[in-house]
Amino acid sequence: MNSEYTYDDIEPVALNEEQPQLCQILYTDQFKSVMGTLLALMKKNEYSDRALALTGLGIEILPSHYSIWIYRYNVIREIGKDLVDELDWLETISLDNEKNYQIWNYRQLIIEQVIGTTGQYNYHREFPIMAAMLSSDAKNHHVWTYRKWVVSRFGLFADEKENSFVEAMIEQDVRNNSAWNHRFYLKFGHEQGDAATSDVVDEELEYVKHKITVSPQNESSWNYLLGICNKFNISLQTLEGFCKQFVNDGTDSADEIELIKSSYALEVLAQVYNDDKSILYYDLLSTKYDPIRKNYWQYMKSMLI
């Protein structure tokens, strides 16, 4: 318990005492004391400094406990604690809980509270903590999801630094699917993106084609390419020449196809040709280049026969 406060007047709620039990959870005495007292405080709707202190200890013990986070937020609001101080505290918690999505949801709540109270928020303070987390795990899904929220909330789609950041992340690891998704969100995931000029679309097509050339068997960049085509109704026929450089098909005989540099190029070409060559490509995908999806490729082939 927090030595600064006393909870002697609170009767902790008993945990895990239902009978019979198939497999009883053996909680530590500290866990039962902290969580039991927290549940008791929640039941009596106590909003106080001691309740806030105990939520911090509860989160330290079990950071994924959703109810504690919500209770802490309500305590913060009711007793009028400094919200910037709360963000500082949250950053120390975040660095020790890289895979916990609760910290990002809570951060959004606090920031919205700051905006609601003051009418503004310096979003630049968000970047150091995200950078620290991504330096540890460049594909941390929770951080990337939060970053999308920051971009959307503060209108950073065209922000030069944000676009440079995501380009640097792709340069660092061209297979970082999260970075590719974020780039697509920046370029096309908003109203202005829906109306992107042909020059912007062409520029992105050239960019992703170059990245595919660097790593032909990278699903992330192919998805980006096809995502652009799908969003702007660009025919796959326009990709035929590009895709053929990854498929050595000097003959229609499967035995004589010497090298397939990209199964994704093979898939696109199968959709482009829609003929006997497509059947050959679907057979190659199902038997050699992507057998884990054999049933799917055989289904695609059946649609042509």
> Model confidence over 239-289: pLDDT tens digits?
999 999 999 765 555 554 457 899 999 999 999 998 899 999 999 999 999
Left, alpha or beta for 26 (phi > 0: left; psi -120 to 50: alpha)?
beta
- The per-residue pLDDT for 256 is 46
- The per-residue pLDDT for 253 is 53
- The per-residue pLDDT for 38 is 96
**pLDDT at residue 104 tops 80:** yes
- The per-residue pLDDT for 68 is 97
**pLDDT at residue 183 tops 50:** yes
Place of tokens 């609760």: 102
* Coil vs helix vs strand at 271: helix
CA distance linking residue 82 with residue 179, whole number of Å:
34
- The per-residue pLDDT for 199 is 93
DSSP string, 132-151: HHHHH-TT-HHHHHHHHHHH
**pLDDT at residue 140 tops 90:** yes
Q: How confident is the model at residue 4 (pLDDT cuts 50, 70, 90)?
A: confident
Sign of the four-CA dihedral 18, 52, 126, 106: positive
Angle (CA) 279-285-289 rounded to 5° is 150
